[in-house]
Structure 1
């Protein structure tokens, strides 16, 4: 159980993977197999979950009720799970935030970004020093993930709708842009070859 003072990680896994399927991928892209450091084939989601959990921060994965394999993998890694038949990333974020209202802030990342490191989450978490803080990792001026929001954003995050995510909440005057590696912008919209 997360303490009152902890920022947590919200992994978004309720999308339909339409770009992945359109590019020739089969099934749920989060379950697509990729080689790990030992050369073993593991599901993409295992990369994302292992790094999120390794941060030591609370982790909550938001997915669809029908995604039983995704749910089982999240539970295997000890992540909390929120279920929603989401119509878009904003709804997905809102559901996860409502289910983690006790957190001191949220680090939001799509679950297909398996190249994020535990240190990336900790770097953004450390930047959330006030309730109205915002932070995100960047790579060569390209906005990346995770995107962090302090506790003061609970009301607006928990009511998001549509498919724009939380982008509209980012304010140039408040957003801390942190330098990251190429993995902070890499996702799996295209099948591995």
Structure 2
């Protein structure tokens, strides 16, 4: 996989949600993770979805969308384990857009803008909405060693903090970049354009 690859982190345990939130069906019939995957595919050169063991139905649905799907046996070690696993699986990429599978409302145009920013020379990119930094976050190949060394459940926050001067915020009119699903109440007001 070359170019800008979307890494869809879909290996969480949904503990706060109380059920498999990634397969929860949105009003239009798409499961949460399928919608997130489809949006990511629309703006990247390819998508690698990282799932946890036993997520057979989720894996099948994401493959049907066109993503490459890999199972991370170490998913219970935290988000960083899934992230470094995904990065290691596509080492020839020029860069990666790291997206969370519980964020189904990010507009494809936003993802395209972020991928274009990586292609045009940004080392780290993230969307901004009304002064708030959101997701997905993109990294170029130069940061691969640091991304591969991550541990714990804080994702790539340490890499971003270590290179804050490299971060390019791409302003967008997209509240979906800050809107995720942790608990069932986060699904309220699905048709609203305002963040929960």
TM-score tier by shorter-chain length is: 0.7 to 0.9
Pair 1:184-2:177 in alignment:
yes
Partner of 2:142: 152
Q: Which runs of 5+ in 2 are unaligned?
A: 189-196
Pair 1:69-2:69 in alignment:
no
Pair 1:11-2:8 in alignment:
yes
Partner of 2:154: 164
Q: Which runs of 5+ in 1 are unaligned?
A: 22-26
Q: Alpha-carbon deviation of 1:42?
A: 2.3
- State which of 135, 142, 145 in structure 1 corresponds to 2:132: 142
On the 8 A contact 1:60/1:81 being kept in 2, the answer is yes
- State which of 38, 42, 46 in structure 2 corresponds to 1:54: 42
Q: Alpha-carbon deviation of 1:159?
A: 2.1
Partner of 2:22: 30
The 1:151–1:144 alpha-carbon spacing in structure 2 relative to 1, beyond 3 Å, is same
Partner of 1:43: 31
* Partner Cα distance (1:54, 1:106) in 2: 14
Structure with greater helix share of residues: 2
TM-score, normalised by the number of residues in structure 2: 0.87
On the 8 A contact 2:6/2:44 being kept in 1, the answer is no
